[in-house]
Chain A
Amino acid sequence: MKMMKWLAVLACSVIILAGCSKKETVKIGAQTFSEQLILAHMVGLLVKEKAGLDVKVVSDLSSTSFNHQSMLNNDVQISFRYVGTDYTGTLKIEEQPKDMESALKTLQERFKSDFQQTWFPPLGFENTYGFTVRQELADELKLETVSDLKDAAKDLSLGTDQVWLERPFDGYPAFIEKYGFEFAKTFPMEVGLVYKAVQSKDVDVVIAYTTDARLKEYNLKVLADDKKLFPPYQASVVARDDLLKKHPAVKEVIDSLEGKIDTETMTALNYQVDVKLEEPEQVAKQFLIEKGLLNG
């Protein structure tokens, strides 16, 4: 009975504690990889400073669809997306976009009308999928493009993130159709593991995220997507319109980041977290101070 009493006390106290923070908190979603966490803290720090709102970063959302569902439920109000992923995934448009501008325009219109959300102009960097091999293997088989893998693929294994194999329009099914070959075996895994997996020869080819600093650190080579399987994946911010309407300062904050982070910068920030093992929040803060967006 005593144990029950303690359990009840513990349960009540946590519920009360959780209740305390319920005033006006902006929740910012981040997926499992570090880039998302850095961006979430960047926007979080700015919203806290410039709009005076409480901020909570909800980390480890496992995929874009998860992320999107949480935005619709109002469990998070701001999240970070990539043009290609939302275009082919969230909106399920089968045809490849003609170019970045038309894709962006479609996203902005559809998100506004279908979900009452704003798709902001790109932050300035692109994080695309990249077919990636060890440099030695590339030298040995003389690999430059994805098509060069064709003859060797029947003996090679492929490691991917959790959802790529299932993505119909820019994932494995589309790949097989476009490139006309398959790999001997496929291993979906948490995306943070693919870099070590290919480096340590557990798999031969992986679908990496190209802004990840471990590509360089582990001496890996990204092969050119010569048949244009992948649409552009410019990164940006998506926010719920009700939040932006109620707090125009939040919109200003997000606008202030437009075009501020190029691919090189993002990779360098990821390097600090994934290789130097610094905390994402510190890395985000440092960046904002350097850019003069936040006072030190």
Chain B
Amino acid sequence: MDTILGMFEIFVDDWNNVLMLLLEHIYMSFTGVLFAILIGVPLAVAMTKSKVLAQSIQVLINLVQTIPSLALLLIVLIFLGLGYQTVIVALFCYSLMPIIQNSFVGLSNVDRNLIEAGIGMGMTSRQLLFQVKIPLSMPVILAGIRVALVIAVGIATIGTLVGAGGLGKLIYRGIATSNDAKLLAGAIPAALLAILLDSVVGRLEKKLNRSRRHAA
């Protein structure tokens, strides 16, 4: 009980520090995932056009996923040094797999009849992509983004080990000083952030699913 009280004490007394670390945490996770979306979705589109490309990219992203997070962070560190950029690149690597995988599956499984209908209406392939395929596979793509965000928030906690701050700083400080209140002051906001993002994106997904059903 004292630990929980101690945690709230930290939130009250040191709120600007906790807030700063939370913002750093959000910044790193969001930026990593954002880059993964910007690169991953176009890649998935390209993958639907070429089987060879699809297979080789899948092998590659699965390979990246097997590297332990601390090891990946150290590999990136050699090239980029201490700071946000190292963590962001690592989070980008981990976010690629769920985003590419889901986008690829979503785009490949769009109802053939709807695509035929689009072609029949004289749509160009660009129109077909932006007005039929992407909107229809949006819920599946979003599900991938949701997974990527939750993973990113989790992994960003070790960002402090490469000088990038984030909520992990409180967690590691808590461990170093056997201060459980401080540990929780980092861990609980990080967990809540992950849950919050999961439910917000999940709700968005549902909404899109519903509107798609209405349209169809």
Q: What is A's interface to B at a CB cutoff of 8 Å?
A: 4, 7, 10-11, 14, 18, 32-34, 58-62, 66, 69-70, 73, 75-76, 190-193, 195-196, 214, 273-274, 277
Task: Pick the contact of A192: B74, B78, B177 (CB < 8 A).
Answer: B177
B31 interfacial contact with A, CB 8 Å: yes
B84 touches A60 (CB 8 A): no
Q: What is B's interface to A at a CB cutoff of 8 Å?
A: 23-24, 26-27, 30-31, 34, 74, 77-78, 81-84, 160-161, 163, 168-169, 172-173, 175-179
A20 CB to nearest chain B CB (Å): 14
- C-alpha gap A236/B30 in the complex (Å): 40
A39 CB to nearest chain B CB (Å): 14
- C-alpha gap A190/B173 in the complex (Å): 11
Known: A34-B176, A190-B175, A214-B178. A10 touches B26 (CB 8 A): yes
Closest B residue, CB atoms, query A36: B176
B156 CB to nearest chain A CB (Å): 13
Give every chain A residue within 8 A of B161 (Cβ-Cβ): 60-62, 66
Give every chain B residue within 8 A of A32 (Cβ-Cβ): 172, 175-176
Give every chain B residue within 8 A of A191 (Cβ-Cβ): 176
Give every chain B residue within 8 A of A274 (Cβ-Cβ): 176-178
- C-alpha gap A73/B83 in the complex (Å): 12
Give every chain B residue within 8 A of A11 (Cβ-Cβ): 27, 30-31, 34
Give every chain A residue within 8 A of B173 (Cβ-Cβ): 59-60
Give every chain A residue within 8 A of B26 (Cβ-Cβ): 10
A14 touches B160 (CB 8 A): no
Closest B residue, CB atoms, query A31: B176
Task: Pick the contact of B84: A4, A18, A34, A70 (CB < 8 A).
Answer: A18
Q: Which of B24, B84, B176 has the most CB of A within 10 A?
A: B176
Give every chain B residue within 8 A of A277 (Cβ-Cβ): 177, 179
- C-alpha gap A61/B27 in the complex (Å): 21
B82 touches A190 (CB 8 A): no
A195 touches B178 (CB 8 A): yes
Give every chain A residue within 8 A of B27 (Cβ-Cβ): 10-11, 14
- C-alpha gap A70/B24 in the complex (Å): 21
- C-alpha gap A104/B74 in the complex (Å): 30
Task: Pick the contact of B77: A4, A34, A69 (CB < 8 A).
Answer: A69
A273 touches B177 (CB 8 A): yes
B34 touches A70 (CB 8 A): no
Closest B residue, CB atoms, query A195: B178
A59 touches B160 (CB 8 A): yes
Give every chain B residue within 8 A of A214 (Cβ-Cβ): 178
Known: A32-B176, A192-B178. A73 touches B163 (CB 8 A): no
Q: List 12 A-B contacts (CB under 8 A).
A: A14-B24, A59-B169, A60-B169, A73-B81, A73-B82, A75-B81, A190-B172, A190-B176, A192-B176, A192-B178, A195-B178, A277-B179
- C-alpha gap A38/B75 in the complex (Å): 29
B150 CB to nearest chain A CB (Å): 16
Give every chain A residue within 8 A of B81 (Cβ-Cβ): 70, 73, 75
B19 CB to nearest chain A CB (Å): 13
Give every chain A residue within 8 A of B31 (Cβ-Cβ): 7, 11
- C-alpha gap A191/B172 in the complex (Å): 11
- C-alpha gap A217/B175 in the complex (Å): 17
Give every chain B residue within 8 A of A33 (Cβ-Cβ): 176
- C-alpha gap A75/B77 in the complex (Å): 11
A75 touches B178 (CB 8 A): no
- C-alpha gap A250/B195 in the complex (Å): 47
A196 touches B178 (CB 8 A): yes
- C-alpha gap A66/B82 in the complex (Å): 10
- C-alpha gap A69/B177 in the complex (Å): 25
- Extra pairs beyond A11-B27, A70-B163, A76-B82 (14, CB < 8 Å): A11-B30, A18-B84, A59-B163, A59-B172, A59-B173, A60-B160, A60-B173, A70-B81, A75-B81, A76-B163, A190-B175, A192-B176, A214-B178, A274-B176
- C-alpha gap A274/B34 in the complex (Å): 39
A58 touches B84 (CB 8 A): no
A75 touches B83 (CB 8 A): yes
Give every chain B residue within 8 A of A73 (Cβ-Cβ): 81-82
Give every chain B residue within 8 A of A75 (Cβ-Cβ): 81-83, 163
- C-alpha gap A7/B41 in the complex (Å): 17
A70 touches B23 (CB 8 A): no
- C-alpha gap A242/B22 in the complex (Å): 35
- C-alpha gap A184/B35 in the complex (Å): 47
A5 CB to nearest chain B CB (Å): 12
Give every chain B residue within 8 A of A195 (Cβ-Cβ): 178
Give every chain B residue within 8 A of A76 (Cβ-Cβ): 82, 163
A201 CB to nearest chain B CB (Å): 16
